[in-house]
Amino acid sequence: MGISLKDVAARAGVSVKTVSNVVNGYRHVTPATRQRVQQVIDELGYRPNLTARHLRKGRTGIIALALPELGNPYFAELADAVISYAAGLDYIVLLDHTNGRRDQEVLFAQGFRARLIDGLILSPIELENEDLLARGNDAPLVLLGEREYEAPHDHIAIDNVAAARTATRHLLDLGRRRVAFLGARHGRVRRVAHLRLRGWRAAIAESPGAADGDELVAATDGYTRGDGAQAMARLLDSGAAPDAVFCYNDLIAVGAMRTLTERGVRVPEDVAVVGFDDIDDGRYCSTSLTTIAPHKQAIAQAAVDALLARLDGGDEAAQAEPRHIRPGFALIRRESTLGRPLESG
Amino acid sequence: MGISLKDVAARAGVSVKTVSNVVNGYRHVTPATRQRVQQVIDELGYRPNLTARHLRKGRTGIIALALPELGNPYFAELADAVISYAAGLDYIVLLDHTNGRRDQEVLFAQGFRARLIDGLILSPIELENEDLLARGNDAPLVLLGEREYEAPHDHIAIDNVAAARTATRHLLDLGRRRVAFLGARHGRVRRVAHLRLRGWRAAIAESPGAADGDELVAATDGYTRGDGAQAMARLLDSGAAPDAVFCYNDLIAVGAMRTLTERGVRVPEDVAVVGFDDIDDGRYCSTSLTTIAPHKQAIAQAAVDALLARLDGGDEAAQAEPRHIRPGFALIRRESTLGRPLESG
DNA sequence: CCGGTGTTGTATAACGATGGAAAAGTCAGC
DNA sequence: GCTGACTTTTCCATCGTTATACAACACCGG
């Protein structure tokens, strides 16, 4: 197969361990020996076998990142951030997708790929609390995203209630009075979009003249542009007559804007739109999208740091109380609420 | 740490190898023994240590997929397809991104992560032919995408010349006469967008009245929406006065449409736009995007199949001549060339 | 020149799994 | 009951690396 320590050792006339010491930068090696060994290493093109090293060390240096889907640019961008940050800390990221299905999420939480990975960062959608409690796996787990659990794991998420409230208040401040919420998932209004829906309600409750009927909450089947387009169509047909829409995420918002344009409804004059995620698409829509921008870099770093703290921090760190970390967010104001600036170029 | 074969063996009162035989479904095991061992396995929750297995077998069951970036939905969607297909064949995909930088691409081609992965699927952008020839690595490599090399590796790509020609001809068939090409990269017109540019030229050459000046070729720095928006602006300012644009990819096309809309140029009445990739965004732009749709599923399958053929096919397969596989593509006609259909509901 | 101290290098045993050969067990037929 | 053929199980070596323990060596003061 390949060149092993043994080959290098034989050629350099030293023991296997000495070569290992050189490779790992162990202190007590004579400069002369080190140089000779290094030369043979370069000569033969030796590269350590990670598999063997990992077996011996009991750690693989691989962490898994399980996201619902990569097709959603938010997750793709987040994955990018996690991979880059982890690489800087000499960890390899194994990227997986769960399709947002409970059985797949359970699989990962239960330790799918156990012993191949040192730890897991999971962004769950359908996972239940009991699935986490029944976890028969010791690899550290960090949770990501809106859902909240009572299981003892670190959790990284922006303050979804505050963010949704900020977005909704922005619409109300512009004078809108019938602000709809798009994206509470069918049959699970309580659970999945819980926090963002709560933020929406809070902002509306604070604003005297604002309509707050349930007819302004439109469910979707999923989180794609198509779901947003359909839900927007249903909302318009229902006669709820919104003058603004706060969407669960940017994809839904883009889909909603598409339906609005198709029907000749002007954005933002007739209906203003706000999204959530700040994906790149939103910036280049023909009507650029106002949105909540979670600080993805900060989320990625917090998730990796939390995981590595448990991995590398020794026993006291591994046993420490679970932490809830809240990275920041910002409201990015664009044309879908402010309107098009006067001809600028 | 965890439960090993040894623990199971001790508890079940058999040897380690017998447990291994049960785990691997070896034939010669008494039903009675098998059942007893299986019971202990379930009881203790034993899971094989993949690292150890891989060390012994010399294979890891992991293949790497190195793409320029995940932020581009085309690559995210492709990654999705590769991961799913490989999973069905019991292979794990390690997803990486090179940022389209030559040094990173070289790193992967040279065997970065050698011995952690069994093989590599690489979609290069800046990689040079000599980088491939200098490859000191025996793991099979499959190349993906537009660039062509003279190195002995399997290559999967749709017929870019034919696809670009189809796209351009579509515009010419609609009566456009000044069809621009957007996305030939600065300073490297020859290399990176070579094939698509050639397809564009071919279509124009076939069409008597069509303008073919170099002023209709606009360079970009990269492949993002922003690059497309800027290039479109420069093209408009240059006085080239195009009545149609064929873009290197959908992201550039979306950016270009954004600029057109901003400047009050109507799509498709004044300028028709065609993209390349068929990413989900294009379908939900407020003017949906006509585009070339490479068959991503077929590309993913061909890439994985080609790699696994070399891995699992034995010596004769590993030594076989490199193959060039051309999955299909289709022209998807949408509003950015056909215009908006009459009010449909 | 000796013994203590500190540095440099080696031999060997793991890590957890699998492959092959040898040993033990089973069974049919004579 | 014994032989031979076959099935089932065990034993040992092995993959490439690192940890532990220890041997060898140099250096220094007395």
Distance in angstroms (rounded) separating the CA atoms of residues B49 and B63: 18
pLDDT for A245-268, tens place per residue?
999 999 999 999 999 998 999 999
pLDDT for B261-271, tens place per residue?
989 999 999 99
Interface test with B, best of A49, A51, A69 (most B CBs within 10 A): A51
Question: What mean pLDDT, rounded, does chain B reach?
Answer: 90
pLDDT for B230-242, tens place per residue?
999 999 999 999 9
Closest CA to A255 of A205, A312, A191, A182: A182
Kindly state whether residue B44 falls inside one of the protein's structural domains.
no
**What is the nearest CA distance from B209 to chain A, expressed in angstroms?**
32
Per the structure, the residues numbered 51 to 110 in protein chain A that have their CB within 7 angstroms of any atom of strand D are: 52-53, 55-57
Name the 3-class secondary structure at A181: strand
pLDDT over 90 percentage in chain B: 58
Distance in angstroms (rounded) separating the CA atoms of residues B302 and B121: 11
In a shared domain, residues A14 and A87: no
In a shared domain, residues B151 and B170: no
Which of B77, B96, B286 has the CB atom closest to A286's CB atom?
A: B286
In a shared domain, residues B167 and B242: yes
In a shared domain, residues A176 and A290: yes
pLDDT over 70 percentage in chain B: 95
Quick one: pLDDT at residue A151?
87
In a shared domain, residues A153 and A164: no
In a shared domain, residues B167 and B288: yes
Closest CA to A275 of A257, A296, A259, A300: A257
- The secondary structure of residue A114, as a DSSP letter, is B
Kindly state whether residue B220 falls inside one of the protein's structural domains.
yes
pLDDT for B205-254, tens place per residue?
999 999 988 899 998 988 899 999 999 999 999 999 999 999 999 999 99
Shortest CA distance from B96: residue in chain A:
A83
Alpha carbons within 13 angstroms on the beta-carbon side of residue B119 total 21
Q: According to the 3-state scheme, what is the secondary structure of A263-307?
A: CCCCCCCCCEEEEECCCHHHHHCCCCCEEEEECHHHHHHHHHHHH
In a shared domain, residues B268 and B302: no
Quick one: pLDDT at residue A341?
72
- Nearest nt to the B32 alpha carbon by C1': D8
pLDDT band at B312 (very low <50, low <70, confident <90, very high): confident
Q: What would you measure as the largest C-alpha separation in chain A, in angstroms?
A: 86
Q: Residue written as tokens 């359970």?
A: A106
Instruction: Give contacts of A83 with chain B, Cβ < 8 Å.
Output: 95-97
| Average pLDDT value for residue range B139-159 | 91
Distance in angstroms (rounded) separating the CA atoms of residues A289 and A272: 10
In a shared domain, residues A167 and A277: yes
pLDDT for A174-228, tens place per residue?
999 999 999 977 665 446 578 999 999 999 999 999 998 889 999 898 889 999 9
Instruction: Give contacts of B96 with chain A, Cβ < 8 Å.
Output: 83
pLDDT over 70 percentage in chain A: 95
B184 - beta bridge partners?
A: B219
Quick one: pLDDT at residue B189?
45
Please indicate whether, in this complex, the C-beta atoms of B258 and A97 are within 8 angstroms of each other. no
Is the CB atom of residue B29 positioned under 7 angstroms from any atom of strand D?
yes
pLDDT band at B59 (very low <50, low <70, confident <90, very high): confident
Range of the domain at B24: 5-39
Per the structure, the residues numbered 24 to 53 in protein chain A that have their CB within 7 angstroms of any atom of strand D are: 24, 46-49, 52-53
**Number of domains making up chain A:** 3
Closest CA to A168 of A214, A198, A204: A204
Please indicate whether, in this complex, the C-beta atoms of B280 and A138 are within 8 angstroms of each other. no
Kindly state whether residue B324 falls inside one of the protein's structural domains.
no
In a shared domain, residues B193 and B112: no
In the structure encoding, which two tokens stand for residue B53, read together? 């297995």
In a shared domain, residues B32 and B59: no
In a shared domain, residues A138 and A179: no
Kindly state whether residue B129 falls inside one of the protein's structural domains.
yes
Q: Are B118 and B60 in contact (CB under 8 A)?
A: yes
Name the 3-class secondary structure at A178: coil
In a shared domain, residues A166 and A190: yes
Least confident of A176-180, A192-196, B150-154, B172-176: A192-196
Quick one: pLDDT at residue A137?
67
Is the CB atom of residue A6 positioned under 7 angstroms from any atom of strand C?
no
